[in-house]
Amino acid sequence: MIDLDPFLAWVESTTLSEWIVGSPSMFAFPGILVLHAIGMGFAVGVSAALDLRILGVAPRIPLTEMRRFLPVLWAGFWLNAVSGVLLLIGYPTKALTNPVFYLKLTLIAVAMVLLVRISRSAFGEGDVTSALDGALSPRLRRLAIASLVCWTGAITAGRLLAYTYTRLTQLH
């Protein structure tokens, strides 16, 4: 196993990390957390809405039209990728020494792969089911359920990060 500590100590010594953690400004750590929560709402929320549509909610929305909401989902995702990296730069030891953090990242990665597969299937030229509410393929429904499960797991893992870390910083 590679010893991460020198690298983590270096990250924590950078000006950016010190500003994120140490600045009294509400735009530092608190503001980044706010953006991370808002991005989660839009990314997971819109993804869940797409999953629910596939599972039969709001059947009069043509499935292909759900793609119009995807830019909002991606905006939320990128907002969280950026704010998440900033939070990681702030507390690298806290995250990278906690197995739950890797579980969270894995669940997000799987959820995004599922999203791409759902998008291809629902909006692409594959097994198109653009009919109003026609029987959507069982495969698509399985992907939608898996997506909801992954997001639920990712959010739970994310929340548990505050309770399961063993080391906060190199100094602690």
Partner 1 sequence: MDIHSFQVWLVTTIYQNSPVADLMRTAWAWPIAESLHFLGLCLLVGSIGTFDLRLLGVAKRVPIAAVHRFIPWGLAGFALNIVTGTMFLLTEPDQYIYNPSFHFKLLFMTIGGLNAATFYLTSYRRVFGPDAPLDAPRRAKVIAAVSLCAWLGVITGGRLLTFYRPAPCDGPQTGLLLTCQP
Q: Tell whether residue 21 is a contact of partner 1 (CB under 8 A).
A: no
Distance of CA 109 to the CA centre of its chain: 8
User: Distance between CA 146 and CA 144 in Å, rounded?
Assistant: 5
Among 69, 75, 123, 165, binds partner 1 (CB under 8 A): 69
Among 65, 99, 102, 128, binds partner 1 (CB under 8 A): 65
Among 2, 162, 171, 172, binds partner 1 (CB under 8 A): 162
Residue 83 or 121 having the CB closest to partner 1: 83
CA dihedral sign, ordered 78, 40, 102, 105: negative
User: Distance between CA 100 and CA 107 in Å, rounded?
Assistant: 10
Give the closest residue to 45 by CA, choosing from 21, 29, 69.
69
Among 6, 22, 159, 168, binds partner 1 (CB under 8 A): 159
Of the chain, the end-to-end C-alpha distance in Å amounts to 22
String marking each residue 25-64 x if it binds partner 1 according to CB under 8 A: -x---x--xx--xx-xxx-xxxxxx--x----xxxxxx--
Cβ count near 5 (within 10 Å): 12
Give the binding site for partner 1 (CB under 8 A).
26, 30, 33-34, 37-38, 40-42, 44-49, 52, 57-62, 65-66, 68-69, 72, 151-152, 155-156, 158-160, 162-163
